[in-house]
Amino acid sequence: MARVLVTGSAQGLGLRTGQLLAREGHAVVLHGRDTGRAADARKALPGVEDVVVGDVSTVAGMRDVAAQANALGRFDAVVHNVGVGEGARHRPVTADGLTLTWAVNVLAPYVLTALVTTPDRLVYLTSGMLLEGRPDLDDVQFERRRWDANAAYCESKLHDLLLTRAFARLLPGARVNAVSPGWVPTRMGGPGAPDDLDEGCRTQVLLATGTGPLAGETGGYWWHEQPATMHPASGGTALQDRLLAYCAERSGVELRLP
């Protein structure tokens, strides 16, 4: 039995991943942005071990969630599911002066990875849209560029893959992988999304539990249990290290290496 933390799991993909894990007999800790969402998560998964609460759009919230998670003890796996698909016409900015999309989709997984006791397995949710991401860390926050919500999302998902490959390289004691769940019918994906929700979660479950055909894999990027197409820039260690340094600068949190 594995003990798994799933972030961003009060609804949608994260919640369904937690439900599938629990159905297989694994211990699950969910995460909700506020107490109301945490209560909803408990109702949706009555057997949940616990729910951590915090808004990870801010660095303070990220730190708080990490502290709550560590207080519960070490996990066998963490699924970094939290994410937003912000479609705002104007650039949304967090209390820390960061674009909301990048703060939640990229900085939160970085800070939680840096602060939560390293588990055996780490899983990062990304998207096939990462192939449209611009492999350039100049003006990550769209402070000089014209705001483009779609471009911001695509870049954030490419950054998630860069984080995955960097952590797989720098945390050799952990198996680290990225997953594209496909276009699934969640609040973000919409009711007309063509992919199956359970199928969109199955790969995360296998990677989090270290079972099935993907057991032992690390540094991979997967879609429905099959290798997905990597962005050609994602293997560049210099770009990976630049992103890690940028995340450390914007959060004040350094990655602790073994």
Q: What is the pLDDT of residues 128-161, one digit of tens each?
A: 999 999 999 999 999 999 999 999 999 999 999 9
- Higher-confidence residue: 7 or 184? 7
**Considering the entire predicted model, what is its pTM?**
0.95
- What confidence score (pLDDT) does residue 258 get? 76
Is 153 noted as a catalytic residue in this protein?
yes
CA-CA distance, 11 to 38, in Å (whole number)? 10
Is 43 noted as a catalytic residue in this protein?
no
Residue carrying structure tokens 């109702």: 43
The predicted-structure confidence for 62-113, as pLDDT tens digits, reads as follows 999 999 999 999 999 999 999 998 677 889 999 999 999 999 999 999 999 9
CA-CA distance, 220 to 121, in Å (whole number)? 12
The predicted-structure confidence for 183-216, as pLDDT tens digits, reads as follows 555 555 555 555 666 788 999 999 999 999 999 9
- What confidence score (pLDDT) does residue 33 get? 97
Active-site residue identified among 43, 110, 124, 157: 157
Alpha helices in 46-93 (DSSP H): 59-71
Domain boundaries 3-251, CATH class: alpha beta
Q: Where are the domains of the chain?
A: 3-251
The string over 54-74, giving b where at least 16 C-beta atoms fall within 10 Å of a residue's C-beta and e elsewhere, is bbbbbbebbbbbbebbeeeee
The predicted-structure confidence for 221-234, as pLDDT tens digits, reads as follows 999 999 999 999 99
Active-site residue identified among 43, 110, 124, 153: 153
CA 98 to chain CA centroid, Å, is 17
CA-CA distance, 92 to 30, in Å (whole number)? 26
How is residue 68 written in tokens? 């709550």
- Secondary structure class of 218 (helix, strand, coil): coil
Strand partners, 226: 223
The predicted-structure confidence for 10-67, as pLDDT tens digits, reads as follows 999 999 999 999 999 999 999 999 999 999 999 999 999 999 999 999 999 999 999 9
Asked whether the beta carbons of 164 and 110 are under 8 A apart, the reply is: no
CA-CA distance, 157 to 142, in Å (whole number)? 16
